[in-house]
């Protein structure tokens, strides 16, 4: 799941405490955060890595 930093911060404050089938699936998903203000950690999955370098320049 790709989230903007501010959306992730909102979710991170509430979703870990939610219960039920949907919450369990949501919490189990890997989350990737798009941000210009956070320090990078780890690497992008191949699909996102190729999407971040489209032919002819940026988005």
Domain count of the fold of the chain: 1
Residue-number span of the structural domain to which 7 is assigned: 1-34
37, 5 Cβ separation under 8 angstroms: yes
Which has more pLDDT, 40 or 14?
14
Q: Is residue 46 part of a domain?
A: no
Label residues 4-24 b or e (16+ Cβ within 10 Å = b). Answer: eeeebeebeeeeeeeeeeeee
Q: Is residue 10 part of a domain?
A: yes
What band does 5 get if pLDDT is binned at 50, 70 and 90?
Answer: confident
What band does 43 get if pLDDT is binned at 50, 70 and 90?
Answer: low
Picking from 56, 51, 14, 19, the residue whose alpha carbon sits closest to that of residue 32 is 51
Q: Is residue 8 part of a domain?
A: yes
Q: Is residue 48 part of a domain?
A: no
Cα–Cα dist 30/49, whole Å: 16
Q: Is residue 51 part of a domain?
A: no
Q: Is the pLDDT of residue 57 over 70?
A: no
Cα–Cα dist 35/32, whole Å: 10
pLDDT > 70: what percent of the chain? 66
Q: Is residue 23 part of a domain?
A: yes
What band does 15 get if pLDDT is binned at 50, 70 and 90?
Answer: confident
pTM, two decimal places: 0.54
């Amino acid at each position: 799941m790709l989230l903007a930093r501010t959306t992730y911060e909102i979710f991170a404050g509430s979703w870990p405490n939610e219960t039920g089938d949907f919450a369990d699936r949501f919490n189990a998903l890997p989350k990737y955060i798009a941000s210009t203000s956070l320090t990078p950690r780890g690497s992008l999955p191949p699909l996102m890595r190729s999407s971040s370098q489209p032919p002819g320049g940026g988005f």
